[in-house]
Amino acid sequence: MPAPSLTPLPPEQAIRFLEAKGHRVGFAWQDVWEAEHAVSFTVAKMMQVDLLADVHASLVTALKEGQSFDQWRKGLEPMLQARGWWGQSIETDPLTGEEKAVQLGSPRRLRTIFDTNVRMAMAAGQWERIERLAPARPYLRYVAVRDDRTRPDHLAWSGTILPVGHSWWDTHSPPCGWGCRCTVQQLSARDLERASWTVTANPPPLDPRSWHNSRTGETVEVPAGVDPGFAYHKGKAARTASSARQLLEKMAALPPELAAEVADPPTLARQIQPEFAQWVDGLDLARPRGDMRPVGTLSPPIVRWLAANKPELMPDSGALMVSDKGLSHLLRDAKKEAQRLIPADVKRLPTILAEPTAVYFDHQNPALLYVFDPPGRDGKLGKIVVRVNFATKMPNRTSVRGNFVVTGGLVAPADIERDARYVRVHGKA
């Protein structure tokens, strides 16, 4: 597979996009999903953060200096071999605890790492220019390489012309799969006229198929012709996550009734999930420092229930917050290891809080109990405990008051449904 041409040097936007990424370790490529790649650099089975950081830095240098794949590989391969990340190895899967025979570094894997990261960075950098020029050049044209290595679906899409803001691009912005060499061309109305092109009346159908992520237990719909993990907008993803977090920070100052009504918790959760997972990976949970951030909002049914049944506990804010101390409690509070949550649960906290199976109120220890169904836990439910108007200490010893995640764990369904201390606020039994 030929490496993408890096001459002339790529735009500064592409370099900034790659440079700004944090680091996410993941045993399998499914562990870091879709838009999470917009804010996190990862290499499957590279579990040492320092090694991941060095590979990331080498790719940033390659972009800045316009290195070819062969130039990049020549400098990186000896270092990976010297540090033991090369060839076949027996490694422990942190999700299952199983020992597996895996492929670490190889020429083929290095080409995939280089090609995918360069193309993603170029696509993200290009999107900044596309948005800036959209008033004058409001159309995008899908362009596929016409040779025998291009997927038939991608060849069929080639020539599709749609407005910049059309929803089709949300799932079909190139690259659309491993090794995909497709691009987009930005056009003005005058460009269409000169080339005798017209805007596509009906975009290619999505024809989604179900795909099961064995790492998370989730089943997602993936458009035909798009590889799993690539059906997202590469240009919008990083900016969307940052904007959503800023919105949540502003909503923390709003009254709960207003925040709950204007927020769309599932949408916000999907938008902040990538940055949140990156933030968690960068924390030292063995030594929490008091770092905190918003992780969601109270939903309207919960706010209404509190107003009607516990007016003395009505929150000051509609935002849900979490600190590194709270995350540490999520992973260690249960006395028995079989009752504890795992890091994968913590990293998807925004999604859990936005779309729980049910929410209960604990009358014995006044708090909200968000219940969810974690994959592969022998029928047990996960629980996230949120204390309303809870005061926590900042590193400077000042006190912050809000709706904080304080602990969690695994529990048998009957232990909740049959215990009179819990009353269901929202969701199914």
Give the amino acid at 129. R
Q: What is the C-alpha separation between 127 and 263, in angstroms, rounded?
A: 27
More confident of the two residues 21 and 146:
146
Q: Which residues pair with 427 in a beta bridge?
A: 358
Residue with tokens 């604990």: 362
Query: Tens of pLDDT along 329-370?
Result: 888 765 576 678 888 888 889 999 999 999 999 999 999 999
pLDDT at residue number 273: 81
Query: Tens of pLDDT along 367-394?
Result: 999 999 987 787 889 999 999 988 776 5
Question: What 3-state DSSP class applies to 365?
Answer: coil
Q: Is residue 36 within 8 Å of residue 120, measured between CB atoms?
A: no
Query: Tens of pLDDT along 61-110?
Result: 999 998 999 999 999 999 999 999 999 999 998 888 889 999 999 999 99
Whether pLDDT at 172 is above 50: yes
Give the amino acid at 64. K
Break the chain into its structural domains and give their ranges: 1-131, 134-235, 255-427
Residue with tokens 């968000």: 370
Identify which of 125, 118, 124, 117 has the alpha carbon closest to the alpha carbon of residue 6: 118
Q: What is the C-alpha separation between 119 and 217, in angstroms, rounded?
A: 29
pLDDT at residue number 394: 58
pLDDT at residue number 3: 45
Q: What is the C-alpha separation between 300 and 308, in angstroms, rounded?
A: 12
Q: What is the C-alpha separation between 288 and 268, in angstroms, rounded?
A: 26
pTM for the full predicted model = 0.63
N-term to C-term CA, the chain: 53
pLDDT at residue number 376: 76
Mean pLDDT over the full length of the chain: 86
Hey, which of 199-208, 279-288, 322-331 has the most confident mean pLDDT? 199-208
